[in-house]
Each structure stands twice: as structure tokens, then as C-alpha cells.
Amino acid sequence: MAREQLRLVLLGVTLLSITIIFCPCGLLLADFGEPPRLLVEDNGASHPLRESGGISPRLSAGVPRPLAGANAPAEAGAAPAREPAPREAKAGVIAAKAGISRADSGGKEAKQKMNIEVKPFDQTPLGEKVDLYSLANSHGLKAEIMTYGAIVVSLQVPDRQGRMDDIVLGYGNLTEYLAKNPYFGAIVGRYGNRIAKGKFTLDGVEYSLAANDGENHLHGGIKGFDKVVWKAEPIKHRDGVGLKLMYLAKDAEEGYPGNLSCTVTYTLTERNELKIEYLATTDKPTVVNLTHHGYFNLTGCQRDILGHEIMLNADSFTPVDAGLIPTGELRLVKGTPMDFTRPTPIGDRVGSDYEQLKFGGGYDHNWVLNGGGRVLMLAARVYEATTGRVMEVLTTEPGIQFYCGNFLDGTITGKKGIVYNHRYGFCLETQHYPDSPNKPNFPSTVLRPGEKYETTTIYRFSTRKAARLR
Ligand code: GLA
């Protein structure tokens, strides 16, 4: 009997010890699973990265690596763990103006409603009607997206005090977008970034594209996907409200072969993300590289972006020539001003005496994402200390173009009369590498009939407390 009592006492002590040791960890893990609050604290050190995405068939060859060994990852973000992507309810068409109650997402605040509204914006000189959709999640994030260029016209996210600001560059009306738009907020295609001399050969046939950037082809040509009117369909995801945009690029349009049927779905999620899903199919072999060209300024467009701290999950980048065409080399960033494996203010080294920065007039390069191109993973994290805003970029793409607004020169006045001076916005364009159609050692951008082009990129927003500044 005494023995039995002793056994029970020992069992009790063991259980108590286990509870004391593991309970705090359990609580921490449980915390990660909570729906995002308006002010999501992020200490920038050990962010839980638990996303996964599909593998694009054309990426099965994998991503080339530089010859030398890779650097050790500097942040938790450099070696992300994975979790299944949030399950989405079967997308269904919802009527514009139909609010979706907060209860749908199972959250606690129930203060605001996920919502999507539409209003006529304007029309193009060809008489095409352009609509403006307003998406809102239950935490107060708002995105305005127009059907011309699938452009994100505004994006309101909270700072660490909960104050909402528009953190993207753009205009308040269509006329100004038509007059001069350096791709503010647009979907870029059929091929994002440059193709050398506007030429490539596919299956023995040479194709010629417009030279709209010196002697090179840039961002899909003269009338790329940023300058066409997309068909739109509001959708409801279990995880947020979205807008499905569709465009059929005709065979030979801008010189590219094949009718390319494209669908880009923006979703404003309940996790404070702007998620972009790209889908395309073709009826002839072609090349495809779609991206989003948002210009971000996490201060709410109060000043330039040089104080923003950026981390890129990339040990190498693709150096370019003077025309910003990759040379084909994959160069390690270590020991160069291109090294953003540790968070560094954009302005710290942008003026360095480094040939690549001279060619780009600053940062305007493709970084090769560590382990990129296979599953959805962290590509970049940007932090703005005065507002506490944090933006993370997750993608299934193998590369990211970090462009720091070098061509902005104060000649554009955007929304609210704000003058967009030099380096007033930065872009993080997830992509396949520039000029891939002419670079056999880069991951392929060829899409063939019967294959599906499928990629996902997420811009995720949170804030960090000032007290947690490093
Ligand atoms: C990309 C290019 C830049 C520039 C901008 C738009 O980021 O790499 O060189 O063309 O788009 O101005």
C-alpha cells in the first residue's frame, strides 16, 4: 500500500514538473495561433513563419546557387519553418456592398465588418469603364484597387498607436495614372523587369519585343498589363475579402507568343495581409513573369524611405550591366552593400562606391531568395521605427527586385498633394530573375500549353513597440 502511495506521489511530482516546464511554451505557441490584433507586436527576432505554397511546375529544376558556399542565415526569417496555408472557403461571388460579419472569421473584436464596395472611377480614352473597389478587413485595414492596371490605389494600415495611414504611392484619379505612372501599385506583365534588347528565342523562334527602356524591353512593353482594364469579380474567402481580376493577353500582343489567360486575386486577409495570387495559362509556348509594383512608404508618405530598415532573405544577387541587364552571375552579398541578411537602414550604404549601385542609381537589383521558388516563405522584412510599422513579404517566387525609388525626382505630385521626391517609395517586386528568357542558367520562365503558372505573394503588416527597438 505504502509503495502504491509512493508511486502516486512520484507520478504527481513528475506531472507537476512537466506542467511547470512546458506550460509557458504552450502559452507562447497558443499566442501565435491567435487572430492578429490591431497592434501586433513583433520583436523582429523570432517571427513564426509557418506558411506553405505550391510548387510551380516550371520551377521543378530548382534555383541555381552561387558557386561559393552560402552565408549563414541572420534571422529566424532566413530559415523559415512551414505550416499549412490557411484553408480557404470555396470562393463565391458576393454582391458588391455586401458586408460580411466579423463572426465569419471567428475573431473576438467583432467591431468592424469585412467589406467590399465598388464605385465607378472613370473611363479610359478608349471609353472603357474603370471601377474602383474598396476592401476592408475587420481590423480596419483598407485597400482600394482599380480595374485599370489592377492597381492598388491606396492601402491603409495602422501604426503602433493604431493610427491609419495610406502607405502606398499613387494618385487620386485615373487621369494622372494615364498621364504618367512609373508602375505605381500596378500588376506588371507579361514579363516583369527587363529582357535584353527586347529579344528572346523560344523553341527555335526569335521573338521581338518593344525597346521601351533604352535598347531593352521593360515591364511587358508599351502597353503592358499595368495599362489595360481588367475584368473584376469580388470574392469572399473565409480568410478575408478579395478581388479577382482577369485579363486575356492576345497572341502577339506586345510581341509575345500565345493567348495568355491571367487571373490575379488580391485578398485582404484577417491576418492583416494583402495576399496576391497569380494564375495563368497559355495556348502556345510563351514566357511569363508577373509581379506587383507597389511603392511602399511605411511612414505614411511623410518623408523619404532611407530610414526604413530592411532585411532580405538572400545570400546572393544577380549583378547587372550598365543597362540593368543581369550578367548571368550569381554573386554573394557578403562583404558588399548588397548584404541585407541583417536588417539595415536603406540609406546606410546606398551611396557606397560600389559599381552595382552606380549602375542602378541605388538599389535596383534582383536578390536570389534563399531556398526560394519552391514554397511560400519569407523574402523580406521592412521596419519603420517612427511609426513602428512592419511589412513582411512572403513569396513562392525565387527572386525579389528591391528598387528604392531612384527614378523618383520630385516631378510627380501624388495623392494629398505629396511630392514624391528622390527615394520616396521602395518596391519589393517578387519575380523570376530579369532577362531569364536569355539566361539558360536562371530558373525558367517558359509556360507551355497544359501547364499552369501559379505563384503567391503576401505583404503582411504588423507593428513593433518602440521599447523593443534594438
Ligand atoms: C523596376 C525596375 C526599375 C524601374 C522601376 C520603375 O523596379 O527595375 O529599373 O524601371 O521598375 O520605374
Q: Is 148's pLDDT higher than 90?
A: yes
Q: Whose CA is nearest to atom 3 of ligand 1?
A: 364
The residue annotated as part of the active site, out of 293, 308, 365, 432, is 293
Binding-site residues, ligand 1, Cβ < 6 A: 182-183, 193, 218, 324, 364, 401, 403, 407, 427, 429
In 3-state terms, what secondary structure has residue 143? strand
- pLDDT tens by residue, 161-212: 999 999 999 999 999 999 999 999 999 999 999 999 999 999 999 999 999 9
Cell 495623392: give the residue: 415
- Per the prediction, the chain carries an average pLDDT of 82
Predicted confidence band at 4 (pLDDT cuts at 50, 70, 90)? low
What's the rounded Cα separation, in Å, for the pair 280 and 214? 29
DSSP-assigned beta bridge partners for residue 241: 236, 268
- What percent of the chain is modeled with pLDDT above 90? 74
pLDDT score for 38: 23
pLDDT of 111 over the 70 cut: no
Q: Distance (Å, rounded) from C-alpha 95 to C-alpha 86?
A: 24
Give the confidence band of 466 by pLDDT, cuts at 50, 70, 90.
confident
pLDDT above 90 (res 130): yes
83-101 average pLDDT score: 31
pLDDT at 40: 24
Least confident piece of the model among 64-73, 354-363, 426-435: 64-73
Condensed to tens digits (0 to 9), the pLDDT of residues 379-400 reads 999 999 999 999 999 999 999 9
Indicate whether 348 pLDDT > 70: yes
| Calpha distance 455→431 (Å, rounded) | 9
Q: Which of 253, 397, 429, 454 is catalytic?
A: 429
Q: How many residues does the chain have?
A: 470
Mutate to test the pocket of ligand 1, among 366, 403, 408 (most ligand atoms within 8 A of CB): 403
Does the pLDDT of residue 141 top 80, yes or no?
yes
What is the pLDDT, as a whole number, of residue 9?
A: 52
Count CB neighbours of 197 within 10 A.
17
pTM of the model: 0.80
Considering only CA atoms, which residue is closest to atom 7 of ligand 1? 403
Model pLDDT, residue 5? 58
Distance between CA atoms of 82 and 357, rounded to whole angstroms?
Answer: 34
| Mean pLDDT of the region 310-317 | 98
The helix (H) or strand (E) run that includes residue 246 is: strand 240-249
d(CA 395, CA 383): 18
- Per residue in 258-307, pLDDT tens? 999 999 999 999 999 999 999 999 999 999 999 999 999 999 999 999 99
pLDDT at 230: 98
State residue 87's pLDDT score: 31
Average pLDDT over residues 231-248: 94
432 labelled catalytic: no
d(CA 106, CA 129) in angstroms, rounded, equals 37
- Report the C-alpha gap between 346 and 446 in whole angstroms: 34
- How far apart CA 442 and CA 194 sit, in angstroms, is 14
Return the pLDDT at 137.
96
52 has pLDDT over 60: no
Average pLDDT in the 345-361 region? 98
End-to-end CA distance of the chain: 59
pLDDT at 236 over 90: no
Instruction: Assess contact for 194 and 215: CB atoms under 8 A.
Output: no
What integer is the mean pLDDT of 103-108? 36
